[in-house]
Amino acid sequence: MDWLGLISLILGVMLIIIGIGLTFDIAIIETIMASFIGIVAIVFGLVLAIGGAMIVKEE
């Protein structure tokens, strides 16, 4: 698996977890989201920045 596929997979899983937490009233996922929303934002930013840098570097 290349880096872009791995980045897409990580972002997809994070979006699914956030979507489930926002859609359904599941206490565990809501607690995780409330506790780690800042960390999730940092990871999103890092993953997108690294992915963008790799795309630019390849071109």
Give pLDDT, residue 28.
Answer: 75
pLDDT, tens digit, 9 for 90 and up, residues 3-47: 777 777 777 887 787 777 777 777 777 777 777 777 777 877 887
Residues making up the chain, counted from first to last: 59
Q: What is the pLDDT of residue 56?
A: 81
State how far the Cα of 35 lies from the Cα of 13, in Å rounded to an integer. 18
> Tell me, what amino acid is at 58?
E
Q: How confident is the model at residue 1 (pLDDT cuts 50, 70, 90)?
A: low
C-beta pairs of 11-17 under 8 Å, 24+ apart in sequence = 11/44, 11/47, 11/48, 14/40, 14/43, 14/44
Instruction: Look at residue 55 and tell me whether its pLDDT is greater than 70.
Output: yes
- Return the pLDDT at 59: 64
